[in-house]
Structure 1
Amino acid sequence: MTKSGVNERELVMEILLSVTRDGEYSHIALRNVLSNYQYLDKKARAFITRVTEGTLERMIEIDYIINQYSKVKVNKMKPVIRTIIRSAVYQLKYMDGVPNSAVCNEAVKLAVKRGFGNLRGFVNGVLRNIERNLDEIVYPDPADKVSHLSVVYSMPEWIVKQWLDVYDEQTVEKILSDFMEEKPTSIRCNLSRVNREELKARLEDEGVKAEMHPQLPCALMISGYDYLGALESFQEGLFQVQDVSSMLVAEWADPKEGDYIIDVCAAPGGKALHLADKLDRAGSGHVEARDLTEYKIGLIEENIERSGLTNIHAVQWNATEFDKDAENKADIVIADLPCSGLGVLGKKTDLKYKMTEETQKELVALQRKMLSTVHRYVKPGGRLIYSTCTIHRAENEENAAWFVDSYPEFSLVKERQMLPGRDGTDGFYIAEFKKENQKG
């Protein structure tokens, strides 16, 4: 309980229920709660964030542990009780700074408060049993690679198997391990407004730890902040939160003065703004940032306004529908398309529970439908940059091969699959295609 009378563990429970029971995305649910309780001190906000994200990140392992020490299996428990026990087990196993007795007692109190007083003995018994046996947990045999990696790294078995079919066990384990590591936040400096050294100094004045990224001259790695939106440097549009792999899209595009660029799935606008920033410093050109819904366009426009850039505008448009007015208009088309998101599970942990193999197949079909449409916007001699934030050959290399086979006027210039644990980035794929100078 905080000084303000807010029960932190109850807020954690509400966030977890909204994700696991109601299907909300974790980053949205967490952001909404932290926004509603901005008056909470830094320690309380950090506790809520860590327990929420940690419980979701480790949920397969947590359920495996609970099922060893509870007569009622996890999937048979009432949602509120299941959620209380899950978050308590995370605290018992991964938060040494929280006394075990407090974890168990607070879990029981919360169950009673939520109307499950008849289950107080059950909650207490399961948690005390787990507490006594934390050092005795038997994990799946390493010889069973899929099951072992799935439980130890809390990754659904079908994803582990999919990656083992492509990469060796050591590489897969590096990917899985990297998702579990806490990392600084990568940001892109808005170089048309401020240079990187000035931004670094400004952030440090605001109490934020900032380090230069060794490869990208526009990137900084920040940590130690509380609420990003409260930073004046953020409010002034001096930087954009963006992964390093995502920044490479604009680096590959390398626009020149006068280029017209269409980003067909731009929200929330990071890549489009990066390109507009590059064009602004090159003498300008223009970026058309498109997306499907009014909500997403609102996000883009909010970021455009904050950036202060004037060579970019947002347009609501469905990337699967052909826009005759855009035909042969763009020097560069950016197609960062909807994907399974399996490369960013370190940031969006709940995606691994929402994604299925069937949905992956549907996404491959959607990506091909979009590419079949948006490639027509590329001028003769222009380029198309295709990217996804996933590790899945069907969405990446196989789609690139399909595209050049289907549209021979395009040639594959280069492609790259980046992997967590190997490349210092998210799992991200980029392919660059060039259209021949004459219409074929």
Structure 2
Amino acid sequence: MTNGVNVRELILNVLLEVTRDGEYSHIAIKNTLDKYQYLEKQERSFFTRVCEGTLENMILIDYIINQFSKVKVNKMKPVIRCILRSSVYEMKYMDSVPVSATCNEAVKLAQKKGFHNLKGFVNGVLRNISRNLENISMPDKEKEPVKWLSITYSIPEWLVEKWKKCYEVSQLEEMFQAFLDKSATSIRVNTEKITKEALKEELEQEKITVTENEEIPDALYIGGYDFLAGIPAFIDGKFYVQDVSSMLVSLWAEPKEGAQVLDVCAAPGGKSIHMAQLLHGTGMVEARDLTEYKVSLIEENIERCGLKNICAKQADARVLEEDRIGTADIVIADLPCSGLGVIGKKPDIKFKMTNEKCLELVELQREILHTVQRYVKPGGVLMYSTCTINEQENEENVQWFLKEYSEFVLEKQQQILPEKGKNDGFFLARMVRKL
């Protein structure tokens, strides 16, 4: 271990932050990696994989633990619960780590955290699981498809039920597997600074793997790097990390040079910056968000990318600004949503979201749309998008909007499902105000 840092203890701390304290997993993981930047690449990789893997597979892991523990997972002390979860993840998914090492380290960690009296319990449960890991009794796929999908892919049953109304079981299996599979990082070339070919060459010289995206000209996939902030091309703003589904928003908007663009919920700024890039220095993109912190994220990315035809502003998208009525050629409304399309990147979403919260978000989305549609010029475009897979927030919201605001017409909409190694789940709709 680097400088005496116990990586498994760091993993435990993150799992406690997420499952006990309610922190978002990507934030907890990033904060820890930022704090311990001196960890070796292999340690960083182990830390990230076990944190993410444990959270991604938590329903299955809990199901396994409950088969071999007299004390059920939800009755355990949080520290013991998290130690067992990450240890079972190691045993089931990481062949390179000896089972004996996993068990020994779990017992040591329990003792270090003050649970000397439970070291025998931890050891017994893990040794029992290790002997029976290949013989776990699973629900019957044909008789209990919802329960089988839920446990196999660690998706809460209410979500499986919700999606099963819209998609076949085979589609759900593909989607759930895409959530679990590790994808390469999707990036967009900042063509105002560098060509795609030159960027590809520069990254490959850094020993980073680069593959092309056949559908979107300025998109690439990268892998094999340690962390983004250590890539010179990233620091220099030569590329922006953005999912390919998200890139479609600006492409579908088809901005013409000189366009006035308003992005009402813009942080951290990817779509706004893409739009400014497509305008080639003309027009103006105003990227707004609710809090000072979110606006600072946008400003940081604008500065890094070096674009001049874009600015950031703090504003509440629900509050109408009279002087902006009818002034925008394009309004981007990428609104707060349940995030069910990005479970692959943020696995704790599936445990935090509920159907009730989804319905609350629908009301917020409609409140914002009611306000921001007034900024669109006659002939202008309203791009509505979310990073979720939920008819209520997506197709039904579009239907509601067109009924409420008959001066708009829907030109196209698409629900994109997560695809292994390619993209997140995403929804977008292009609506145009009649002349």
TM class by smaller structure: over 0.9
Superposition deviation, residue 80 in structure 1? 0.4
Q: Within 5 Å, give how 1:30-49 maps onto structure 2.
A: 30-49=29-48
Query: Match of 2:183, SS?
Result: coil
Partner of 1:254: 254
Q: TM-score, length-normalised on structure 2? A: 0.99
Q: Which moved more, 1:134-143 or 1:420-429?
A: 420-429
Work out the CA distance in 2 between the residues paired with 1:423 and 1:304.
Answer: 28
Question: Residue 327 of structure 1: which of 317, 322, 325 is its match?
Answer: 325
Q: Which residue of 1 aligns with 2:116?
A: 117
Q: Deviations over 1:74-125 (max 9, x none)?
A: 0000000000000000001000000000000000000000000010000000
Q: Deviations over 1:272-316 (max 9, x none)?
A: 000000112xx5111000000000000000000000001000010
Q: CA deviation at 1:182?
A: 1.2
What amino acid maps onto 1:74 in structure 2? V
Give CA deviations for 1:168-198 in whole Å, capped at 9, x if unaligned: 1111111011111111000000011111011
Amino acid at match of 1:370: I
* Distance in 1 of aligned mates of 2:222 and 2:357: 34
Deviations 1:395-427 (A, max 9, x none): 000000100000000010100011113894211
- 2:154 paired residue number: 154
Match of 2:415?
Answer: 417
Residue pairs, 1:111-150, within 5 angstroms: 111-143=110-142, 144-150=144-150
Task: Give the whole-Å Cα distance in 2 for the aligned partners of 1:32 and 1:44.
Answer: 15
Match of residue 304 from structure 2: 306
Matches within 5 A, 1:23-172: 23-143=22-142, 144-172=144-172
Residues 427/278 of structure 1: CA separation in 2 closer, same or farther (3 Å cut): same
> Hey, what's the Cα distance between the residues in 2 that align with 1:423 and 1:386?
25
Q: CA deviation at 1:325?
A: 1.8
Count residues with an aligned counterpart.
434
SS state of the match for residue 408, structure 1? coil
Which residue of structure 1 aligns with residue 355 of structure 2?
357
Partner-residue secondary structure (3-state), 2:3: coil
What is the DSSP-based 3-state SS (H/G/I as helix, E as strand, rest coil) of the residue aligned with 1:360?
helix
The answer to whether the Cα contact below 8 Å between 2:196 and 2:218 also exists between their aligned partners in 1 is: yes
What is the distance in 2 between the residues matched to 1:167 and 1:325? 44
Offset, 1:323 = 1.2
SS of residue matched to 2:89: helix
Instruction: Give the letter aligned to residue 99 of structure 1.
Output: P
Correspondence for 2:195: 195
2:204 is matched with 204
Give the aligned partner of residue 182 of structure 1.
182
Question: Matches of 1:424 and 1:37 in 2, distance apart?
Answer: 30
Deviation at 1:429, TM superposition (A): 0.5
Aligned to 2:332, the other structure's residue is in SS state strand
CA distance in structure 2 between the partners assigned to 1:102 and 1:368 by the alignment: 53
Which residue is equivalent to 2:6? 7
Name the structure 2 match of 1:407. 405
CA distance in 2, matches of 1:414, 1:49: 39
Q: Tell me the distance in 1 between the aligned counterparts of 2:207 and 2:371.
A: 47
> Is this contact kept in 1: 2:2–2:40, CA < 8 A?
no
The alignment status of 1:292 with 2:290, answered yes or no, reads: yes
| Counterpart contact for 2:184–2:421, Cα < 8 Å | no
Q: Give the letter aligned to residue 287 of structure 2.
A: A
Equivalent residue, structure 2, for 1:397: 395
- 2:177 and 2:420 in contact (8 A); partners too: no
Query: 5 Å matches for 1:334-349?
Result: 334-349=332-347
Q: Deviations over 1:131-189 (max 9, x none)?
A: 01001101111021110000000000011111100111111111011111111000000
Q: Show the counterpart of 1:242.
A: 242
Does the CA contact (< 8 Å) of 2:337 and 2:386 recur in 1? yes
Aligned identity (percent) is 59
Give the Cα separation in 2 of the matches to 1:424 and 1:192: 25
For residue 167 of structure 2, what is the amino acid of its counterpart?
A: Y
Q: 1:3 deviation in Å?
A: 3.5
Q: Aligned partners of 1:419, 1:189: CA distance in 2, in Å?
A: 24
The answer (yes or no) to whether the contact 2:387–2:427 under 8 Å persists in 1 is yes
Deviations along 1:23-75, one digit per CA (max 9) or x if unpaired, are 00000000000000000100000000000000000000000000000000000
Unaligned 5+ runs, structure 2: none
**2:377 and 2:2 mapped to 1: Cα distance?**
61
Provide the rounded CA distance (Å) in 1 between the counterparts of 2:45 and 2:221.
19
1:366-405 alignment runs, 5 A limit: 366-405=364-403
* CA-based RMSD: 0.9
- 2 CA distance for matches of 1:329 and 1:206? 45
Secondary structure at 1:4's aligned position in 2? helix
Q: Deviations over 1:190-215 (max 9, x none)?
A: 01111101110111112211111111
SS in 2 for 1:162: helix
Match of 2:425 in 1: 427
CA distance in 2, matches of 1:420, 1:335: 21
Give the counterpart letter for 1:371 in structure 2: L
Residues 417 and 426 in structure 2, CA contact (< 8 A), matched pair in contact too: yes
* Secondary structure at the counterpart of residue 267 of structure 2: coil
- Once the two structures are superposed, residues 344-382 of structure 1 have per-residue CA deviations (whole angstroms, 9 ceiling, x without a partner) of 111111110000000000000110101001000001110
Q: Partners in 2 of 1:257 and 1:128 — Cα distance?
A: 65
Aligned-partner Cα distance in 1 for 2:428–2:183 = 23
Q: Aligned partners of 1:205, 1:139: CA distance in 2, in Å?
A: 47
Change (3 A) 1:29 1:124: same
